[in-house]
Structure 1
Amino acid sequence: MNYNVTPNVQWYPACTISDVPENGGVCVKYKDEQIALFHFARSGEWYASQNLCPHRRQMTISRGMIGSQRGEPKVACPLHKKTFSLIDGRCLSDDEGCGIKTYPVKVVDQYVYIGIVEEEIISEAICA
C-alpha cells in the first residue's frame, strides 16, 4: 500500500482588513493556535505565521517589526531581533535551522482569510 499526503486547505475568516494596522501585525486565534497576521500596506501583501517565538517560546511574533531583505518579506522577533522569512518561515539571521510555520492568506470582500492546512492521508493500493 502506498500513502500520499495531500494538503487540504481550510480558509478561516480571521478578521476584516480594517482590523489590521497598515504595515503592522495582529494576533489571531484559531482553535488552540495563535497566528501572527501581517499587512504590508505599500505593496498590498498579506502574510501569516505562527505567533510563537521558536527561541524564547513566547507568543511575540505578531508584535515584531516587518520589512524586507533582498526583496523578501520578513519579520523580526521583538525579543531577540532574529528575522524570519514570511514566505517560507526560515530564519534569515543565521543558520540555526530554527524557523517558523507560515500560512497562506487571501483577502475577499474586505475579509482576511488564513489558510489552515489539514493533511489528509489518501491510500492507494499498488498491484504488482
Structure 2
Amino acid sequence: MITSQTLTWHAAAPVASFPADGGACVKIGHRQIAVFNFAATGAWYACQNQCPHRMQMILSRGLTGDHKGEPKVACPYHKKTFSLCTGENLNGDDYQIEVYPVKIENGMVYIGLC
C-alpha cells in the first residue's frame, strides 16, 4: 500500500505544458510517465508511458475517457484500455500499468513516486 509517507513528490512541468483533456509525457529519472489533464472534471492522472501489450512508449498519446465513470486511457495503437485509478486492464488481459498520484501546487504538476 502506498502512503503519503513513502512518496517523494517530483516536479513534472507547469500546468500549462499539458493539453486540456489530453496527455503528455514527462521523464523523471529513468521513468517515462504519461500525465493526463481531465480539464472537463479538473482531475489529473499519471501512469507509466509504456503500453505493456507491445512495450511501446505511447500511452501519453492515448485516447482518454471513462469506463462506468472511472477514468481510462486506451493505447492509440492497440486500443487496450487501462484504468487511470488502479492500472487495471479493462479488456480482461492479465497485464496492467503502474499509476501514480498527482498533485497541483502553484501552477506546477507534481508526481508522487516511491
Shared fold (TM-score greater than 0.5)? yes
Kindly tell me the number of residue pairs found equivalent between the two proteins. 112
Superposition misfits of 4+ residues, deviation over 6 angstroms: none
Structure 2: gaps spanning 5 or more residues: none
Which of the numbers 81, 104, 108 marks the counterpart of 2:105? 108
Which residue of structure 2 lines up, in the alignment, with residue 46 of structure 1?
A: 44
Q: Does residue 70 of structure 2 align to residue 72 of structure 1?
A: yes
Amino acid at match of 1:27: C
TM-score normalised by L of structure 1? 0.84
Q: Deviations over 1:23-68 (max 9, x none)?
A: 0000000111100000000100000000001011110000001000
Structure 1: gaps spanning 5 or more residues: 118-128
Q: Does residue 84 of structure 2 align to residue 86 of structure 1?
A: yes
Higher-Rg member (1/2)? 1
Shift of 1:93: 1.4
User: Which of structures 1 and 2 has the larger relative contact order (alpha carbons within 8 angstroms, sep 6+)?
Assistant: 1
Q: Deviations over 1:75-123 (max 9, x none)?
A: 00011001000001000012x2110000000001110000011xxxxxx
Which of the numbers 12, 24, 27 marks the counterpart of 1:29? 27
TM-score normalised by L of structure 2? 0.94
Q: CA RMSD in A?
A: 1.3
